[in-house]
Amino acid sequence: MGILIHHERSLGAVTALGTWSTNTVRLHGLLMQIVVKHTTSTTEYDFALINDQNEVILNRTDIVGTINEEVGTPIKGVYTMRLQNSTRDEAFDIALIIQER
């Protein structure tokens, strides 16, 4: 049995007043990796992944640079990807890499 990897991507998400958020499609599987890239290398920001029960599954604060983190967290449902406190309004690319079940 092969592994199906799903990329939940949000390309060119642009913060406004330092904030941006969107919901994913319904997901079910193992969150393998999170990648958050932005335009300017000196931008500081916070990133959170929140489930449909409004529980924060992942919260990273005061990030400068790219997040490229292996996670290994089981997920199921719709999630909110949220950027906050960005020191610049700029484009971000976000990818959640999921091993589907």
pLDDT tens sequence across 34-69: 999 888 888 999 999 999 999 999 999 999 999 999
The model carries a pTM of: 0.87
Output the pLDDT for position 2: 44
Number of domains in the chain: 1
Q: Give the chain's largest Cα–Cα span.
A: 46
Q: In CATH, what number is assigned to the domain containing residue 91?
A: 2.60.120.380
Residue 43 belongs to domain spanning = 5-100
Using CB atoms within 10 A of its CB, is residue 46 exposed (0-12), middle (13-18) or buried (19+)?
A: middle
